[in-house]
Structure 1
Amino acid sequence: MGPLGEIQVGVLMVFLRNTDGNLIYAQAADIGITTNTDAEVMAIVEAMRYCRNEGLDNIIVQTNSEMIYKILEEGWKPLWGIFNWIEEILEIKNAMTVSFSHILRKGNKLADALANQALDKASLQCHNFQELPSMCRKILNSDKTQIPYLRIRTTR
Structure 2
Amino acid sequence: MECFIRGTDFDLWQADALQWFNIRPVVNIKVPFPVKWLRPHHNYCLNVDGAFKGTTGICGGGGCFRDSSGQFIYGFAFYYGAGSSLLAESREMHDGLRLALERRLPVSILYSDSAQLVGAIHSGRCPHWSVFPWWKGICKMVDQLKPIIQHSFREGNQVADCLANHACAQADNTAMASRGRRGAQTRDDEQRREERGEQQAPAPQGPTVLPPPPPVDYGVFMQGLVQAMQTQAQTQAALQAQLQAQAQAPAPVPQEHGHGGPSIMERFKRMAPPSFKAESQPLLAES
TM over 0.5: same fold? yes
More strand by share: 1
Aligned length: 129
| AA partner of residue 72 (structure 2) | L
Q: Distance in 1 between matches of 2:137 and 2:55?
A: 23
Q: Distance in 1 between matches of 2:132 and 2:116?
A: 13
Q: Work out whether 1:52 is the aligned partner of 2:104.
A: no
Q: Decide which structure has the larger Cα Rg and report it.
A: 2
More helix by share: 1
Out of 107, 111, 121, the residue aligned to residue 156 of structure 2 is 107
Q: Which runs of 5+ in 1 are unaligned?
A: 130-156
Q: Distance in 1 between matches of 2:56 and 2:129?
A: 16
Q: Work out whether 1:14 is the aligned partner of 2:63.
A: yes
Q: Distance in 2 between matches of 1:6 and 1:103?
A: 26
| AA partner of residue 54 (structure 1) | R
Q: State how 1:64-83 maps to structure 2 within 5 Å.
A: 64-83=113-132
Q: Distance in 1 between matches of 2:163 and 2:75?
A: 8
- Helix, strand or coil: the match of 2:138? helix
Q: Which runs of 5+ in 2 are unaligned?
A: 1-50, 180-287
Out of 43, 66, 69, the residue aligned to residue 92 of structure 2 is 43
Q: Distance in 1 between matches of 2:115 and 2:159?
A: 19
Contact 1:69-1:102 at 8 Å conserved across structures: yes
Match of 1:117 in 2: 166
Give the C-alpha shift of residue 113 in structure 1: 1.9
RMSD: 2.6
Q: 1:78 to 1:119 in 2, by over 3 A?
A: closer
Match of 2:178 in 1: 128
Q: 1:2 to 1:126 in 2, by over 3 A?
A: closer
Q: Distance in 1 between matches of 2:64 and 2:56?
A: 23
Aligned-residue identity in percent: 23
Which is worse superposed, 77-86 or 65-74?
Answer: 77-86
Q: 1:23 to 1:71 in 2, by over 3 A?
A: same
Query: Could you tell me the TM-score, scaled by structure 1's length?
Result: 0.71
Q: 1:109 to 1:74 in 2, by over 3 A?
A: same
Q: Distance in 1 between matches of 2:64 and 2:88?
A: 14
Q: Distance in 1 between matches of 2:102 and 2:161?
A: 25
